[in-house]
Amino acid sequence: MAPRKHKPVFTPPPQDLRRRAVNFTKGFRLKLAPEELRKLEEVVERASDALSQDVAGKLRLLRAALEDVAAADTRADTAMRALRTLSLEIKGMGGMFKYPLLTAFAKSLNDFVKTIDQPTPIQLDIIAAQIDALYVVLARQIQGDGGRTERELLQALRQATAKYKNPARDTAD
């Protein structure tokens, strides 16, 4: 006999939970005042400098990993894992700090490298182009979705990754 299906019942939280969650003596209210919003934006702006430094470090590591993969030495497997991990980390960082284009390029790179075990020369070129695009976004501090050129480059990289990705790994992930 099949179990009976019940509709979910949503219970509103008690008022004392709201009182405990919102601290009126410290921190911020539920609806931010312009002054509070400005303070938060300043914190994010200061963190953006740290973001640039952090992403720049990750980009250097990406470039070094790409060189190890291209050399096809004993570190190639570890370097491919590093490419996957670093691109995923950069992807997660971009949108938080008004760099959705950084996120888009990092996502494109991550989607591509997660389907590859040992890249072919053309795949290495595509990976290098994506890393270069990440460098440009960071160096020029391109916020938002960039302009027409950036959108066209992103689209071209997506087409290249779709054409040259390793279809054998797609079904495994």
Task: Quote the pLDDT of residue 38.
Answer: 76
Residue at token pair 């938060």: 40
Residue 161 and residue 108 in contact, taking contact as beta carbons nearer than 8 Å:
yes
Q: How far apart are CA 37 and CA 162, in angstroms?
A: 41
Residue 102 and residue 93 in contact, taking contact as beta carbons nearer than 8 Å:
yes
Residue 26: pLDDT band (50, 70, 90) is low
The sign of the torsion formed by the CA atoms of 60, 109, 98, 43 equals negative
Task: Quote the pLDDT of residue 13.
Answer: 63
Residue 20: pLDDT band (50, 70, 90) is low
Q: Is the pLDDT of residue 78 over 70?
A: yes
Residues 6+ apart with CB under 8 A from 87: 62, 106, 107, 109, 110, 113
Q: Structure tokens of 96?
A: 């938080």
Higher pLDDT, residue 1 or 86: 86
Task: Quote the pLDDT of residue 30.
Answer: 54
Q: Structure tokens of 146?
A: 């960039």
| pTM (whole model) above 0.75 | no
The candidate with the shortest Cα–Cα distance to 88, out of 102, 69, 77, is: 102
Q: Is the pLDDT of residue 17 over 70?
A: no
